[in-house]
Amino acid sequence: MPLPALARTVGLCYGRRNREVNELVRLFEKADIWRLASLESSERGVTMSRVRCVWHTTLLLGLFTGLDVPVTNALSAQMLSVSEATIEDINAAFDSGSLTSEGLVQLYLARIQAYDQEGPRLNAVLWLNDKALETARALDAERRVSGPRSPLHGIPVALKDNIDTGDMPTTAGSLLLAGSLPPDDAFIVQKLREAGAIILAKLNMSELASGVTMSSVGGFIRNPHDTERSPAGSSGGTGAAIAAAFAQLGIGTDTGGSVRGPTTANGIAGLKPTHGLLSRDGIVPLALSFDMAGPMARHVYDVAAMLGVMTGIDPDDVATSKSADRFETNYTQFLDVSALGNARIGVARDFLGQDTEVDWILEASLEAMRAEGATVVDVYFPQWLLDAKGDWYTTIRWREFRAQIPEYLATIGPEYPKTLSEMVERSMEIASLTPEGGTPNPTRWSLLIQEEQSGALDDHEYIAMKNYGLPMAQSIVAGLMDAQELDAIVYPTSPTRPSLVNGGGGGGVSATNIANLTGFPDLIVPGGFTSDRLPVGISFLGRPFSEPRLFGLGYAFEQATKVRRDPKLTPPLLGEEIRR
């Protein structure tokens, strides 16, 4: 959001008269914020109430932008840092000849070298594709001869390490699967390669997509905004890598918030799609009732562009049949800066009150939506659903992992465990050792025991929750939206700021697993920053297969606010600007 608009929004939120708000706008334009914050009441007729307002607005400037003072982009209108450039910008640079795919891959490899195991040591990358540059050169040659295959032609993508790649290991971050080379690519990876995307890296993650944001293969992952903070899980490596600009695009997976937590914690955009919109073939399962891959990127445009490349009916995943006649291959066509103008937005107030600054950012985000013409109304979920959703999720998740992981294990080599019981046995063997290049993960491995003892898919509790509980949740949420004719329900993606790496902070009662219980889509857009420079994301929850509408709303919000900021710990490297 431009600074004058930000000052006006915050001033209005604080109930100031229009004349006083105009004064704030003028003062912000002068950019002398720290002097303003210390003004005496006698100076220039400024009242103490105005001083307080300026002080709070100074604080909120940090909340929304993550900046100490207003800054001016030093790059010309024709130059962008690699982190600022969208796929559209990069394709313009490809077309003009100012950039090649090989050059872009080199830029990202340089950033990985500078910031993953050096500098802040984010520890987000597990494996690099040693053929990435060779592939980029081939795609550059193909572009010159026959043009691009798609907007993703020559674009580097990084994958969470539970997504199969036939030419790189897939371990789900676990020493129990160390060195495992899948027989082929996951369905969505095949689609990406067919579109000309370059698989650049496999990324660290919460082991087996659950637990703390570390893996026995790669150790702890760090948040590029503050290395003492967690990047959240389980797609923490994807969130950190995309925020730090280690690739243009990333893919995570989401069973109970694992795309959305890292998206908000790292200050980027992402989508948990409608259940069935993307194939889960070739993805290490956690619970197929909930599992979905999801695109993650620094810009809503890029999330939309990547999603369309990966959709399609997969005969190996029956859930994709739900998307027949409902999926798109080009979601960028729905990006509309005016989409909020006729929108009815519900705000889920059930998830506020856990972090004051997160609440402030949501309120300012709602004000920005109103300023764009949206009607905003309060909504509340039934208390019984809020009380029950955690138990429903855990009951289904644990039992399905126990029953479904053997089917995946059957596709990999005979040297690996074939059942959850064998995984438990192997973890006990490894825990007594100090693995070379690995770190035992007793927290996650102890959870394997609970999952192994959780029960089967034929017990009455699982059947009741699967066959009756989930449809009931879908009906309740859809009915809530229908009753108020809502286009989306918004809430802070996480009700608190990112937790400390050692587990302090964070937590809170979150809305995220509502999207998993219902299978509904959830688009996350950067909403701002807390006073300690930590990102906060805003979720847009929609009806099944309403991704086109959500992209319109999210893009309009993103373009009206423009609060995303690069992490200070991973600044641009010399010479990495892109000329459009």
The catalytically annotated residue of 174, 206, 230, 234 is: 234
289 token code pair: 């009732």
CA distance to 65, 126, 135, 184, per residue, from 405 (Å)? 43, 22, 33, 18
Q: How far apart are CA 550 and CA 525, in angstroms?
A: 11
The catalytically annotated residue of 81, 101, 150, 160 is: 160
To the query of whether residue 494 is one of the catalytic residues in this protein, the response is no
The H or E element that residue 209 is part of is none
To the query of whether residue 446 is one of the catalytic residues in this protein, the response is no
DSSP letter string, 233-300: SSSHHHHHHHHTTSSSEEEEEESSSTTHHHHHHTT-EEEEPPTTSS--TTB--S-TTT-EEEEEESSH
One-letter amino acid for residue 180 of the chain? S
The H or E element that residue 535 is part of is strand 535-541
Burial degree of 401 (CB within 10 A; 0-12, 13-18, 19+)? buried
What is the Cα 217 distance to its own chain's centre?
22
CA distance to 179, 288, 383, per residue, from 293 (Å)? 22, 11, 29
To the query of whether residue 546 is one of the catalytic residues in this protein, the response is no
202 token code pair: 């496999």
The catalytically annotated residue of 150, 210, 258, 539 is: 258
Q: CA angle 302-303-309, nearest 5°?
A: 90
Q: What count of Cα atoms within 13 Å lies in the side-chain half-sphere of residue 413? A: 13
- Count Cβ atoms below 10 Å from residue 412 Cβ, excluding itself: 20
The catalytic site residues sit at: 160, 234, 258
